[in-house]
Amino acid sequence: IVATGICRSDDHVVTGALAMPFPIILGHEAAGVIESVGEKVTSLKPGDAVIPLFVPQCGECRSCLNTKGNLCIKNDLSSSPTGLMADGTTRFTCKGKAIHHFIGTSTFTEYTVVHETAAAKIDSAAPLEKVCLIGCGFSTGYGAVLQTAKVEAGSTCAVFGLGGVGLSVVMGCKAAGASRIIAVDINKDKFAKAKELGATECINPKDFKKPIHEVLTEMTGQGVDYSFEVIGRIETMTAALASCHYNYGVSVIVGVPPAAQKITFDPMLIFSGRTWKGSVFGGWKSKDAVPKLVADYMKKKFVLDPLITHTLPFTKINEGFDLLRTGKR
């Protein structure tokens, strides 16, 4: 592993919001170089630059074979994750005791072991300390717009949450040609970067006395065409749904839902025609899409630098989590 990002999903495991078996090595947004391969591996060889894939692509299951799906059956993102390799074993130990894998990647380590279906070979000239973001955050947000929602030119969009993934959603909306991109966050310090990347307006729910979905409905007249929840809170998920157009609006859940929490909502929100969707890894078929996304980055079709706020040595990883929790990233 040459470089790894810190994602809110990693912190969700630490806080217990995302249930995983312990002890575990976290991390899932990374880039590295193949050190060695198993005897049956044919698509990768030592020296290849790769991005580990927390959503694998086996190419054989129904999701992989269907043009509509990308969540391969070999994933370990279920409600009861095993924390093990596909063969039921772990390749990590500490003082003789087994340590679990995290969603098939475990990148907070100098070396990791992933299945062949969970690594994408990329351009060896790509800067690994930047394209590691294509392993999760950027692809997740950008793809939620282009792959999952399929936003059309001229659309109005609302983006709830302006972390790295939310900013990638903003970038996706701009790339799709959206006419209005309304960024929503309670941290106004994030507004400047959101506007730099394409947001046309930024609003803080704390500045209003009425619910944010009512504010957005008034701003747009009957609601936005597309809304994206990129935080992982049930309150903002329902607010995002309510803020999209009552008849043909589409709301996409991008943030990881908190464990053991249920949503209660008025079914009229759906009955009238709205669509509520989820998106994992931006809907991309990982092994196919990641090399193409890296190629697009190399062709300067999108930027990644604005998403990188701090670069720290591995020994300061806890400081990185502190920055994440205080919103300074």
Instruction: Centre a 10 Å sphere on the Cβ of residue 19 and count the other Cβ atoms it contains.
Output: 13
Alpha carbons 95 and 89: distance in angstroms, whole number: 17
**H/E stretch holding 252:** strand 250-253
Tell me which DSSP letter residue 149 carries.
Answer: I
**28 labelled catalytic:** yes
* Secondary structure class of 81 (helix, strand, coil): coil
- Catalytic, out of 9, 106, 168, 279: 9
Q: How far is CA 55 from the centre of its chain?
A: 11
Q: Cis omega (within 30 of 0) on the bond before 23?
A: yes
15 phi/psi in degrees, rounded to 5:
-85, -15
**12 labelled catalytic:** yes
- Catalytic, out of 72, 132, 136, 202: 136
Sheet containing 156-160: which strands, arranged edge to edge? 201-203, 180-184, 156-160, 226-229, 250-253, 275-278
Alpha carbons 265 and 72: distance in angstroms, whole number: 30
| Three-state helix/strand/coil letters over 156-205 | EEEEECCCHHHHHHHHHHHHHCCCEEEEECCCHHHHHHHHHCCCCEEECH
Would you list the DSSP string of 86-110?
A: TTS---EEETTEEEB-STTT--SSS
- Cα Rg of the chain (Å, integer): 20
Tell me which DSSP letter residue 96 carries.
Answer: T
Place of tokens 């193409």: 292
Residues serving a catalytic function are 7, 9, 12, 28, 136
